[in-house]
Structure 1
Amino acid sequence: MILIADGGSTKADWIAINSDKKEEFRVRTLGLNPAVVAEDELENRIINMFELIKIKDDVTEIYFYGAGCGTPKPTKILEDVLQKIFINAKINVAEDMLAAVYAATGKEPGLVCILGTGSNSCYFDGEHVHMKTASLGYILMDEASGNYFGKVLLRDYFYNKMPKAIAEKFNEEFNLEADYIKKNLYRTPNPNMYLASFAKFMFDFKEEKYIKRIIKKGFQEFFKYRILPFNKTAETPLYFIGSIAYYFRESLEKIAKKNNLKVTGIIQRPIDNLLEYHLQKME
């Protein structure tokens, strides 16, 4: 049995493939970002998924692509957790950027970007992934991500910069007691996932001028810091992965055009494309 996983900070999608290269099942666990989730919690999130545990001794190989797996230390933490559970498996852990590349371009060159709970970008030349800068996560970077927009919404609400009608809906939707927010930001796991939960609010109000304005600003920042430094032209394929890109496609395409680029494709969830990539490799 082979497991393929696309692991974000919010959720991780898993697909099991049998020896006949047929799909056995799919499951979704909570996010498994080893840069922000403690080792024991990573283990709990996996072992609490019955479908995974019942086949743990039959798994021979795991391909896990995850947020927070771009540097050696957190990658090793997740590798150790997976090896402890799936004792007979060969463990392959790589960053989610590589999964985005495989899902979007396969083996063809292109710019590939992630706009989900977090954000990132790279240029794939057909063989190697090129990054302009390391990602320092949700506090310092992650422009135009779910947690970026979550911070914008919270600040605007508390600074009374949010339009009244939208602020009333925002207040109805979330617990906005200051102590509750601070507890989730500073004393519980996955503060980036907590911040990103507020961004979902934008999907229902995406036609409002206020939402369009903050989306436009966030996308402009992402292009400025994460795409334009690659110095590519409109002839270079440009792909986006993630729900932020998927639900705000129109705004994203406008910003791309303004910067003399063109969006080639947007994939909300890359797991299907990732499965296809690995099945082709197995042939």
Structure 2
Amino acid sequence: MILIADSGSTKTDWCLIDSSKKQSYFTTEGYNPYFVDEQYMVKSIEAQLPAQLDRLGINEVHFYGAGCQDDKVSVMQGVLQSVFPNCKRVNAVVDLLAAARGLLGNRPGFAAILGTGTNTCIYDGNRIIHNIDSLGFILGDEGSGAAIGKKILGDYLRNKMPEAVQQAFEDRYQLDAEDIIHKIYKEPMANRFCAGFTRFLKYPEVDAAYGHQLVKTSFTEFFQNLVSCYPGYRQYSFNCIGSVSYHFKDILEEVLSDFQMQAGRILPSLIAELAHYHQEN
């Protein structure tokens, strides 16, 4: 049996392909080896796998994950080998390759991720040939859920929200400055904490104009600091995976127009596309 995973910092989409080519899908929390340790990941995966899944029957795993780069590749492979001890083939690669393969298949083009974090690349139909580092949650990740969440929290703490929006945030979350600072600086997975506030902008009590401008500013920074830095970027269509790009697609398309780039495929998830890619290749 083959197991394919597409993991961000918040959630992981899985597809199990059995010997008869039947596909089964499920979801667990996300696993980024930069933010959580091996022991945590092993216990979490084992606890969240479907009860009927035979871990000993898995002989091939393809794991695409946020943070699966450099020395973290071997960390993630060790985690997966512990969970699936009979597995003969374990591949752990960066989630950006999943975005390229799922969105473009074997065609060259531009692929991006706009979820909890951000990433972008030029893909030649086989491998990533150009990637500008997003610099992660602290230094970059413009346009991501974490970046949008940071803007929301900053506006709240500095009283820069419209009065009604400020009150709506206070009523819904019941957080003071001390709570927020502690969550971000003292607890793990601050990026996931910040990204969770993006859904606040979709609530009916939140002024639409405020939310629109905040997200547009974040997407504009994403294009200024990342997308437009690729030579000849306008020759490509913009293909993107991630909940943030999908749920704020209308605003994203405005920014695409501002930067004279055509919209391509914009999907909330691509686990089905990845399963198809592996069956075809």
TM-align CA RMSD: 1.7
Alignment of 1:58-97 (within 5 A): 58-69=57-68, 71-89=69-87, 90-97=89-96
Alignment of 1:29-44 (within 5 A): 29-44=28-43
Q: Deviations over 1:37-87 (max 9, x none)?
A: 122111121011242784111000000001011x22222111111111211
Match of 2:228 in 1: 228
**Separation of aligned partners in 1, 2:42 and 2:60:** 18
The letter for the 2-side match of 1:118 is G
Query: Is 1:183 aligned to 2:182, yes or no?
Result: yes
Count of paired positions: 279
Contact 2:121 2:132 in 1 (8 A): no
Alignment of 1:69-148 (within 5 A): 69=68, 71-89=69-87, 90-148=89-147
**Separation of aligned partners in 2, 1:213 and 1:11:** 27
Kindly tell me: are residues 233 and 158 of structure 1, through their superposed partners in 2, closer, same or farther at Cα, counting changes over 3 Å?
closer
Contact 1:115 1:243 in 2 (8 A): yes
Kindly tell me: are residues 40 and 53 of structure 1, through their superposed partners in 2, closer, same or farther at Cα, counting changes over 3 Å?
farther
1:155 deviation in Å?
Answer: 0.6
Match of 2:157 in 1: 158
Q: TM-score, normalised by structure 1?
A: 0.93
Contact 1:112 1:124 in 2 (8 A): yes
Q: What SS does the aligned partner of 1:51 have? A: coil
**Separation of aligned partners in 1, 2:177 and 2:233:** 46
Match of 1:251 in 2: 251
Q: Does 116-125 or 47-56 show the bigger shift?
A: 47-56
**Separation of aligned partners in 2, 1:50 and 1:107:** 31
Contact 2:120 2:132 in 1 (8 A): no
Q: Does 189-198 or 44-53 show the bigger shift?
A: 44-53
Contact 2:165 2:207 in 1 (8 A): no
1:179 deviation in Å?
Answer: 2.9
Match of 1:172 in 2: 171
Kindly tell me: are residues 99 and 163 of structure 1, through their superposed partners in 2, closer, same or farther at Cα, counting changes over 3 Å?
same
Match of 2:201 in 1: 202
The letter for the 2-side match of 1:170 is F
Match of 1:12 in 2: 12
Q: Does 197-206 or 4-13 show the bigger shift?
A: 197-206
**Separation of aligned partners in 2, 1:88 and 1:2:** 12
**Separation of aligned partners in 2, 1:279 and 1:50:** 22
Match of 2:47 in 1: 48
Match of 1:264 in 2: 264
The letter for the 2-side match of 1:214 is L
1:165 deviation in Å?
Answer: 1.1
The letter for the 1-side match of 2:224 is K
Q: TM-score, normalised by structure 2?
A: 0.94
**Separation of aligned partners in 1, 2:280 and 2:203:** 38
Contact 2:12 2:31 in 1 (8 A): yes
**Separation of aligned partners in 2, 1:258 and 1:186:** 36
Match of 1:275 in 2: 275
Kindly tell me: are residues 137 and 32 of structure 1, through their superposed partners in 2, closer, same or farther at Cα, counting changes over 3 Å?
same
Contact 1:62 1:92 in 2 (8 A): yes
Q: What SS does the aligned partner of 1:72 have? A: coil
**Separation of aligned partners in 1, 2:202 and 2:107:** 32
Q: What SS does the aligned partner of 2:58 have? A: coil
**Separation of aligned partners in 2, 1:256 and 1:130:** 23
The letter for the 2-side match of 1:157 is Y
The letter for the 2-side match of 1:74 is K
The letter for the 1-side match of 2:166 is A
**Separation of aligned partners in 1, 2:226 and 2:58:** 37
- Which consecutive residues of structure 1, in runs of 5 or more, have no partner in the other structure? none
